Chains A and B, each alone.
Chain A
Amino acid sequence: MAIWRYDGSFTGFLTLCAALLSQGEEPEEIISAEPLQNDLFRTIISVASDENRGEKMLAAIASRISPDSCRLLWQAFLSEAPGVELLLWRYLSFGRTTGVKCDRFLAHPAVGPVHRLANSVGQEAHRLMGIIRFQETAGGQWYALVEPAYQVLELIAPHFAARCSDMNWLIHDRRRSLAVAWNKQEWRLTRFDAQGVPPLSADEKAWSTIWRGYFAAIAIPERANLRLQQQHLPHRFRKYLTELEKPPRR
């Protein structure tokens, strides 16, 4: 058995799976980063990402297992969880033996964990759809800054493309130096390294002030429950929510 290496992209991973299958190999480990020193004595097989092979692999998964499985694998892949590649590979191997019934084996160790990962990623994406905040820039564009736990930009882009189709917007994942941008026609994922928030439009401050006032007024004081609020809004989200900023000191 060997260590198999790919470029970290989903296409790269699919290409790698295709290579494993065609050679009938079982990987000991699947990595995307530079191998460690002591790995020098083990065999490392690098597979170059191949759009065409990746597509074919995806089509094969859709027909041999199910179209839902493609989505499931992609979503679980976006978790970037350590060891996720091997987990997905085991799911694929198992799926080849069961075919379309694969996802009924929810209690099976090759299936359950993949579903759980995909669920967590889906939840993060869903949560982000709510707590992203766009700010209007001086140039009339809309900018949002986030640091999600998983790489979910591509999962949320279609939602915002439909919802805010008449706005030029950009959602910046600072943690991964990535962004999705929409130009009223199509969205694309790009590297994005900018630091700091761009200059904002003249109205932006007034609207965020009104929003903060609204937010404070909507809570029923007789039912105050900060712990419940905390439970729903963990700290990692708070810094992007204008309504939760501490009011400026007088």
Chain B
Amino acid sequence: MEPLTLDEKIRILTESARYDVSCSSSGSSRSNRKGGIGNAAASGICHSWSADGRCVSLLKILLTNHCIYDCAYCLNRRSNDIRRVALTPDEVAELTINFYRRNYIEGLFLSTGVVRTPDYTMELLIETVRKLREEHRFNGYIHLKLVPGADPLLVERAGRLVDRVSINLELPTRESLALLAPDKSREAILLPMRQVSGLITARRDEGRRAPPFVPAGQSTQVIIGASPESDLRIMTISEQLYQRMGLKRVYYSAYVPVTGDTRLPALNSLPLLLREHRLYQADWLLRFYGFTAYELLEADAPNLDPELDPKTGWALRHRQLFPVEVNRAEYEVLLRVPGIGVRSAKRIVRSRRVQRLRLEELARLGVVMKRARYFLTADGMTSGEADLSSERLKALLLPEKKKRSGPEQLSLFPTNDSDLSALTGEL
């Protein structure tokens, strides 16, 4: 085989990395040191948008696509016949710095296939970020993947150098993991996650002066649609990850059939993208709207409604709680009104201290009246149609069908981090 150029290696290692969905660079704020390069802005910055409509914020790349494991859903699995390449820690560091100076990226998201042993691989990753931080004096954002099964000492060392770490849960349950990723045990994934969570808590007690430890927290990713778990099952797992492990984000990745492995369903991926989108909305409701998994879903209806967003679905099942009077309702209650998002709820609370709100003013505060009007009153007034039957109301709330249905409809549904802000005003 002919040797590859640097460009070609980068292309291959990017194509292997792109299925990892997390790309956010937000949540850390690290200031530059004198003579250094880079800082981490607290609110995520997108540098471009790729042809799949996702925000490009980080240089997302693998150190190598060599792998000793054989995960069914992964392009790099040992049994797959693909060209194997590797970059050196120096090459990745150079690439990062040069992209960063040109303002192409906000930082690095480094992952890798497993070479030789988990420890050896983890050491290569650490060496790369160490070079960036110490030799290149790089203070920008770094998100590092932890290798399942790596030594706790290495996990800790990595966490001192980077902004965020993640270790992917991959499949929602132990059984699915055993079937599709037989080389990774659930423990090899959960132990480092728990260790990092403990170290973050410990760091919090040490006070401001102590050296940082993953200041942007940890995240994880779950592949959906490659295994049979229901949405309810997935949401309860996310709920626990947020509550017990203090995770910053759980990412959902609709399974893209990249391999012909017989352990996997052959799929038409369109309905999966919609499902992924609904899961992100439900996840958002867990984190910012005070909902629990069991409010959004029930044991006898364990999957999210493809037709309606989960908040509107919940409101339709609880019509006895509406309408809500915007001049009186508590913030937490306002948040549950379809068409009122975090921002508009805050604005309502702020402005009603100085004036009584009427219907006309709500739209100006960012309330989506098209939906909210059926669920609220303002100064006792509704905008008509009070006693609609639930079926009729549901029909009114369904998004208008586009003439050409199909994948295009999904363009309304951004799935990555920095774009989700678009949803806050809308749910």
Contact = CB atoms under 8 A, between A and B. Distances in A.
Given A105-B354, A229-B51, A211 B104 contact: yes
A42 B324 CA distance: 53
A219 interface: yes
A245 B383 CA distance: 49
Contacts of A217: 10-11, 14-15, 18
B88 interface: no
Contacts of B140: 163
Contacts of B86: none
B85 interface: no
Interface in B14-66: 14-15, 17-19, 31-32, 34-39, 41, 43, 45-57, 59-61
A144 interface: yes
Contact of A165 (B36, B60, B355): B36
Interface in B369-427: 407-408, 410-411, 414, 419
Interface string A102-128: 001111100010000000000000110
A135 interface: yes
A106 B47 contact: no
Contact of B35 (A127, A163, A166, A226): A166
A225 B11 contact: no
**At the interface, is chain A mostly helix, strand, loop or mixed?**
helix
A244 B49 CA distance: 10
Given A104-B350, A207-B98, A228-B411, A131 B47 contact: yes
B244 interface: no
B39 A162 contact: yes
Given A163-B38, A220-B18, A241-B48, A135 B354 contact: no
* Residue of B39, B45, B357 ringed by the most chain A CB atoms within 10 A: B45
Contact of A218 (B50, B95, B103, B414): B50
Given A217-B14, A232-B55, A162 B32 contact: yes
Interface string A194-231: 00000000010001111101111111111111111101
Contact of A214 (B10, B45, B256, B273): B10
B269 interface: yes
B41 A129 contact: yes
Contacts of A166: 35-37
Given A101-B354, A167-B101, A226 B7 contact: no
A14 to B, nearest CB: 26
B37 A229 contact: no
Contacts of A159: 41
A215 B350 contact: no
B116 interface: no
A74 interface: no
Interface string A171-210: 0000000000000000000000000000000010001111
Given A214-B10, A229-B51, A164 B350 contact: no
B365 interface: yes
A166 B136 CA distance: 12
Given A126-B43, A129-B41, A159-B41, A213 B10 contact: yes
A105 B355 contact: yes
B6 interface: yes
A133 interface: yes
Contact of B353 (A104, A167, A203): A104
Contacts of B407: 225
Contacts of A221: 52
Contacts of B351: 104-107
A233 B354 contact: no
A150 interface: no
Contacts of B103: 130, 132-134, 144, 164
B10 A218 contact: no
Contacts of B61: 214
Interface of B: 6-7, 10-11, 14-15, 17-19, 31-32, 34-39, 41, 43, 45-57, 59-61, 95, 98-99, 101-104, 106, 140, 256, 269, 273, 347, 350-351, 353-355, 357, 361, 364-365, 407-408, 410-411, 414, 419
Interface of A: 98, 101, 104-108, 112, 126-127, 129-136, 142, 144, 159, 162-167, 203, 207-211, 213-229, 231-233, 241, 243-244
Given A108-B355, A165-B34, 4 more contacts: A133-B103, A164-B38, A209-B7, A220-B18
